[in-house]
Copies of this chain bind each other. A is one copy, B any other.
């Protein structure tokens, strides 16, 4: 990683996953390079914005050549930390939890799912993607042994506080939070990414209503 990249602003960081995704699409189409103008048309940004953003990571673009797609995607992946897989556990194996475990490839986004937990006794022993669903009783022991970095929360909001507190005490440093519970208010030092589906749908409702 170029030293330059160590001072990348948070607004640039927020755009990195989208760059990573678009560059991956271009690679899968067999393309080697792209100009900032072409990339800007694809992504709905200005070419100048793209040049500014990507210059943060070093000298990938060359006048008259454009960007080397593979190199640039790899570099963005390194900055995002995708190359070193972190350990994730899933709490809650209802429809949403199962949908994520079965159909969402986490390894290309930096995480390896190593355990699934649900409080429903009827689910214990079932497997999802070759992982057994454990009862919540086993959470403590499992975390001490396996030291997961992150937990995916797909549980009712009433349970979120206690589960999150236990996990933080067990060393979990981040949450992918599908529960409508604002963890970041309570645990300001923990990394939280919320997928607040209700808020998203209400925002869409507002925009359609205008």
**Bound-complex Cα distance A191 to B209 (A):** 10
By a CB distance below 8 angstroms, the chain B residues around A114 are none
Greatest chain B CB density within 10 A among A94, A195, A199 is at: A199
Count how many chain A residues have C-beta atoms less than 8 Å from C-beta atoms of the other chain. 58
- A176 at interface by CB-CB < 8 Å: yes
- A82 at interface by CB-CB < 8 Å: yes
- A14 at interface by CB-CB < 8 Å: yes
**Bound-complex Cα distance A44 to B185 (A):** 5
- A207 at interface by CB-CB < 8 Å: yes
**Nearest CB on B from A28, distance (A):** 11
**Nearest CB on B from A185, distance (A):** 4
Q: Closest 5 A-B residue pairs measured CB to CB?
A: A81-B209, A110-B205, A95-B99, A17-B199, A44-B185
Interface residues of A, Cβ cutoff 8 Å to B: 13-14, 16-18, 20-21, 42-44, 79-82, 84, 86, 94-96, 98-100, 102-104, 106, 108-111, 149-150, 173-174, 176, 180, 182, 184-185, 188, 191-193, 195-209
